[in-house]
Amino acid sequence: MLALALLAPAVVILVTFIAYPFVMAIWFSLTSIRVGDPGHFVGLANFTKAWEDSIFQTAFKNTVFYTFWATVFKLTLGMWLALLLNRHFRFKRIVRASMLLPFIIPTVLSAFAWRWMFDPTFSVVNWLLYHTGFIANRLPFLSNGDWAMWCAILVNTWRGMPFFAITLLAGLQTINPDLHEAAALDGANAWNRFWHVTWPLLLPVTLVVVVFSVIQTFSDFQLIYVLTGGGPANSTHLVATYAYQLGVGTGLLGEGAAISLFMFPVLFAVVWIQLKYLKRIEAA
């Protein structure tokens, strides 16, 4: 039938390059395969090894921490920015277009700019803080484990905030402006208007955006790879970067595959919960 013919190309590509490799990934993770050595079946050994690996534990915790905080910041700042952009002002179109640049420009390239900004010896941020009297000694941005994590969250927020802002802005524009006027007459100040009228009506869009963002952030690779490489001393590894290090760096394909598979149940759970919540909201 026509439908099958039309869907064929898409299905072929997706099956060949997603479904099949996914199955292969599972197969790899159950063997001791390495580069140049097909290895043999080892059951869940790779998984247990990863579970007990302290670096993996750090990487997993990092990924959760990173995703959680980056999403919170992106949502808050994105929402605030969307509310600001929802008003009328001159140059609105240019401002709106330029706000999306962090999202458009390849992450790797802008991550380098940030890395340069955080450089231990030549950081412009240090320069600014020093000359305005906030600090006496330089801040260890990327050379300290905790600081580096927060820097990464900052860069991720910088990059992802426009996505939230623009999408939430579109959602804001579907809300009947009469509602805000009615709320103002009802005695609601700006915060109350937001909390009682805007936020509930925006919840469906918010949820979808958050889910997209969580999927991307949880499986993030580029940013950490360029910013810190996983260091210092493996303290900023994410699941993806650690999987890369094991699989491609050291050639332990089986273990690398196992590590990366740990991402899947989390992502699945996140989407599942969100879909359920979305259904509940739309029914109400």
Partner 1 sequence: MAEVVLSGLNKWYDRNVHAVKDVNLHIRDREFMVLVGPSGCGKTTTLRMIAGLEEISSGEIRIGERVVNDLPPMDRDIAMVFQNYALYPHKSVYDNMAFGLQMRKFAKDEIRRRVQAASEILGIQPLLARKPRQLSGGQRQRVALGRAIVRHPQLFLFDEPLSNLDAKLRVQMRVELKRLHERLSTTAVYVTHDQVEAMTLGDRVVVMKDGLVQQVGEPLELYGRPANRFVAGFIGSPAMNFAEVTINHSAQGVWAETAGLRIRVPPAKAEALRGHAGGKVLLGVRPEALRVANGADVADYALDCTVEVVEPLGNEILLDVRAGSHPLVARVDPATRVKVHQSLRLALDPERLHFFDANTEAAI
Partner 2 sequence: MVIERRWKKWLYFYIPLALFILFTLFPFYWMAVTAFRPDGELYRTWRQANATPFWTLAPTTEHFHGLLESTAFLRWLGNTMFIALASTAISLLCGLFAGYALSRLRFRGSEFLGTAIFITYLVPQTLLFIPLADIVRDMHLGNTPWSLILTYPTFLIPFCTWLLMGYFKTIPKELEECARIDGATRFGAMFRIIFPVAVPGILSAGIFAFTLSWNEFIYALVFLSSVEEKTVPVGVVSELIRGDIFFWGQLMAGALLGSVPVALVYSFFVEYYVAGMTGSVKG
With CB under 8 A as the contact rule, the residue among 158, 197, 202, 228 that binds partner 2 is 158
Quick check: 182 binds partner 1 (CB under 8 A)? yes
Contact 137, 221 (CB under 8 A): no
> Could you say which residues in the range 55-114 bind partner 2, by CB under 8 A?
77, 80-81, 84, 87, 93, 95-102, 104-110, 112-114
# residues contacting partner 2 (CB under 8 A): 97
DSSP letter (8 states) at residue 33: -
**CB neighbour list of residue 123: distance below 8 Å, 6 or more residues apart:** 117, 138, 139, 141
Quick check: 9 binds partner 1 (CB under 8 A)? no
Tell me which of partner 2, partner 1, none is bound by residue 269, counting a contact when its beta carbon lies within the kind-specific cut-off of 5 to 8 angstroms.
none
Contact 245, 229 (CB under 8 A): no
Quick check: 198 binds partner 2 (CB under 8 A)? no
Can you tell me the distance from the alpha carbon of 262 to that of 239, in angstroms, rounded to the nearest whole number?
8
Closest distance between partner 2 and the C-beta of residue 52, in Å?
21
Quick check: 278 binds partner 1 (CB under 8 A)? no
Contact 195, 105 (CB under 8 A): no
Can you tell me the distance from the alpha carbon of 76 to that of 2, in angstroms, rounded to the nearest whole number?
46
| Piece in contact with partner 2 (CB under 8 A), picked from 39-47, 144-152, 251-259, 276-284 | 251-259
CB-neighbour burial class of residue 142 (10 A; exposed 0-12, middle 13-18, buried 19+)? buried
# residues contacting partner 1 (CB under 8 A): 18
Quick check: 247 binds partner 2 (CB under 8 A)? yes
With CB under 8 A as the contact rule, the residue among 62, 225, 227, 237 that binds partner 2 is 225
